[in-house]
Chains A and B, each alone.
Chain A
């Protein structure tokens, strides 16, 4: 089983987001593996342990993402590829992944259902379409039986269970696997695992971010006496106009 896990390098979920003009202010922000990608990686490592094979991680990013890639190696990936480019937009990233995947050939291409920075949720579908493969998103359970994958995904108000032949692409989310924290041995061996840097195929971004804005702060919360709920109902009706 040859598995590719695509990871992004994003601010920690608790980070306070600020901008310098049209750039994220990175001061004091800790970067991590995309939280959904982390689930994809954890499942890939579990599948490798069960079925044999290898796990390669791929990140489209500049040199500053290498500590994040090493963390993925410490969690259990065997080797890594960094496509040396700023991840401009979903299509640009998807094209880099598809180019690499076409060259190598994988049974499974896993990633998170979306990145927690741009929240595009597009890359899995684009990679699948570029490679002519099926894609499941959000993939919440994944079992492999021979050359068939059995998966569960969330749909509105319920769940759907599906199967399809490998190879395939999946955009993962919890509870697909238990999150893995690197142990000391993993951290030591990660230092010596191969991390190949390749140059991107030239492509312009189709979507350009020109500026950022923070959401307007909610007007101060109006406190209502717990013994006067008629007052709340009146406000919901007359002021907020939501009932």
Chain B
């Protein structure tokens, strides 16, 4: 049985997390036997490259009304592609769009949904996957009943390597429902030019220890040196020192970069809930008792205002 993988693009290029989803889908197809069909509803220049990550063919929906990314319409497109291709599993990488669309696809396509999946499935007990629960404090092993399955996967759980291949692109037309465009987008306010936090492979984050918004220049400089996104703790965004969409944690964005550098953040449990699945955590805090050191891989006890510029200088020698 084949696997459908939904891919998203940003700025005309397939997102890294979607490439990971294609690689993941290829492994699932390998396990259950079958091929990988990719579906794209965003405009992208590198669709054929998906072949090199494991897709056997790519369906492309060209519909101007999808440019504003209406969740219900995209869910319709995904469910219809799955139906037409006769797949038994849909894989999507988590994003604000996918998190909203997956449950709708689940009902439309009559499938069992497991969200926030953190490893490849196994055939233990039928079809089982591991997913993150209790806000990062535990993992659950769940068995998915039913013939049709949908998995939304966390980022960075599998590398996406290109093997040089390419895939044929086929146009795919969707029969949209009357209510698919019921939500009207009035305005989109997007930060230009920055590395998007949920997608970032490296994150430099700072907390109330930075004392005020005027001190974020050094955090931005460090992030720039590393090609990282910037983030913050909740009080920092509550105080309006930084925009809300930079706040990570239980009530903010959950990130799983390969490198998370936390500067002047205490490491409260609610903050850890959003960052604990980072591969490597570096903590800079002047208080040797800061709880964050217990969850870090590397720690530096010191004043952020001295350590951060020195760290930037040390990094500049190698990156």
Contacts and interface: CB of A to CB of B under 8 A. Distances in A.
Given A91-B112, A155-B188, A157-B197, A242 B202 contact: yes
Contacts of A208: 142-143, 145
Interface residues of A, number: 81
Interface stretch (B157-165, B211-219, B305-313): B305-313
A156 B199 contact: yes
A14 B102 CA distance: 29
Contacts of A159: 188-189, 245
B182 A119 contact: no
Contacts of A184: none
Interface in A52-108: 90-91, 94
Contacts of A202: none
Nearest to A98: B107
B-side binding surface: helix, strand, loop or mixed? Answer: mixed
A237 interface: yes
Interface stretch (B43-51, B82-90, B289-297): B289-297
B123 interface: no
A6 to B, nearest CB: 14
B96 A17 contact: no
B115 A232 contact: no
A218 interface: yes
A131 to B, nearest CB: 10
Interface of B: 10, 71-72, 75, 95-97, 99-104, 106-108, 112-116, 125, 128, 130-146, 179, 182-191, 194, 196-199, 202, 226, 244-245, 250-251, 258-259, 269-270, 273, 276-277, 279-283, 293-302, 306-307, 310-311, 313-315, 317-319
Interface of A: 11, 13-14, 17, 19, 35-36, 90-91, 94, 116-126, 128-130, 132-138, 140, 150, 153-165, 171, 173-175, 204-215, 218-219, 221-227, 229-230, 232-233, 235-237, 240, 242-243
